[in-house]
Structure 1
Amino acid sequence: MANTKVSGFSRANHVGITVSNLEKSIAFYEALTGTKISNKDEIGGPRMAKTQGLEDTRIKYANIHLDNLNIDILEYVLPTPEKTSYQNNQISAMHLCFEVDDIAAAMERLKEIGVEPEGEPIVFQPEDGLKAGFGTAVAYFRDPDGTNLEIIAPQGPFKRKNS
């Protein structure tokens, strides 16, 4: 199959993260990113619910605009949310990865805001089985609700052309 862009699918606009407490999550993501929310509002009703396959919905939300992606923080009031937890190896699990220039400085930032990483960061080496991307550093952590998050200091094919 040819590597052609499909109109409208070459850029990401946002990632939505469902949370248990909007205010607590706003504080976390503002501290993590150093960016204040741009908007806080509430949306819902049967019309909105139909876009999600629901009968009715009410969602409190906030938006954070990063340089290349927006984060929508969503607290569902209706229907009553259910807690779930995904490990990175589970099918349909997703994670949000933040690109950083310096993995050590990013780890210090996590410690400053009280975040405990899943483990120590690693730097990709030939023994990891990669053909390229050596020197790329990664670490994983979670937000207050257990959402899978990652930091990456990319090299080689992991580095975007416009970064």
Structure 2
Amino acid sequence: MRPLGVRREDRFHPRTVGHVLGKAWSTAVIPVHVPLARPAIAAFRRADHVGITVTSLAEALRFWVDVLGFRHVVKTHYENSEFLEQVVGVDGADVTLAMVEGPDGSLVELLEYHAPSERQMMKPRSCDVGSVHLAYMVDNLDSLLAKVEAAGWLRLGAPQTVSGGARDGLRIVYVRGQDGVTLEFLQAPIQANGHAAAWPNSLGA
């Protein structure tokens, strides 16, 4: 029978104690919680990149490089081939892609398809199934937001500040571009010295 209040994942270790439950014992078994190791899922090692299909690669590069400050790493054209069709799952695919790198080393792959001709423009709302957004911590939300809006992107609402809890003081805003891409910008609370506070990730780790 499982001892009251002891979970299945707990481990038991003999400990020498003076008194347990008011009785003298030389040795007692006391439950000590030892977290189980997190199981590996699909043997993932790390995130490699995020891919975004765009209308114009030139315009997308201007935004990601000139406005957001990413570094243009490489640009490659892939003509139609069985290899490409098998990778992307699109018959007749022909694409030019560019890889940009953020200040933190994260990679974004921008793809402009030249074929097939019957391509759709998807502009989902945040609530629509399949909608995706990327979130970035920034130093100065207001300054970046002004640059983003000048580049033709729209804020989806006024910047909001979290009140209370572990994320107290965090400022958040969503913006959306002409291709329907949604980005989230977050700014940690500003300290007395004028700099943003050190901030963990969204899990608080």
Query: TM-score, normalized by length of structure 1?
Result: 0.81
Query: Against the structure 1 CA distance between its residues 91 and 149, is the aligned structure 2 distance closer, same or farther, given a 3 Å change threshold?
Result: same
Map 1:1-163 → 2, pairs under 5 A:
3-6=38-41, 8-43=43-78, 44-66=80-102, 67-80=104-117, 81-111=119-149, 113-126=151-164, 131-154=165-188, 155=199, 158=202, 161=205
**Bigger Rg, structure 1 or 2:** 2
The structural deviation recorded for 1:68 is 3.3
Write the deviation string for residues 18-69 of structure 1: whole angstroms up to 9, x where unpaired: 0111111111111222133111111142211112222231111111011231
Q: Comparing both structures, which one devotes a greater share of its residues to helix?
A: 1
Q: Give yes or no for contact 1:20–1:75 (8 Å, CA) kept in 2.
A: yes
Letter in 1 for 2:143: A
2-structure distance, mates of 1:152, 1:73 = 22
User: Tell me, which stretches of 5 or more residues in structure 2 are unaligned?
Assistant: 1-35, 189-198
Q: Distance in 1 between matches of 2:67 and 2:136?
A: 10
Whole-Å Cα distance in 2 between the matches of residues 99 and 85 of structure 1?
A: 24
Deviation of the 1:94 alpha carbon: 0.3
CA distance in 1, matches of 2:81, 2:56: 20
* Post-superposition offset of 1:75: 0.5
Worse-superposed segment, 30-39 or 63-72? 30-39
RMSD over aligned Cα, in angstroms?
A: 2.4
Counterpart CA distance in 2 for 1:105 and 1:5 is 41
Change (3 A) 1:10 1:99: farther
CA contact (8 A) 1:133 1:156 kept: no
Aligned length: 157
> Relative contact order: is structure 1 or structure 2 higher (C-alpha 8 Å, sep ≥ 6)?
1
2:154 counterpart SS class: coil
Secondary structure of the corresponding residue to residue 27 of structure 1? helix
Per the normalisation by structure 2, the TM-score is 0.66
User: What amino acid is the match of 2:107?
Assistant: N
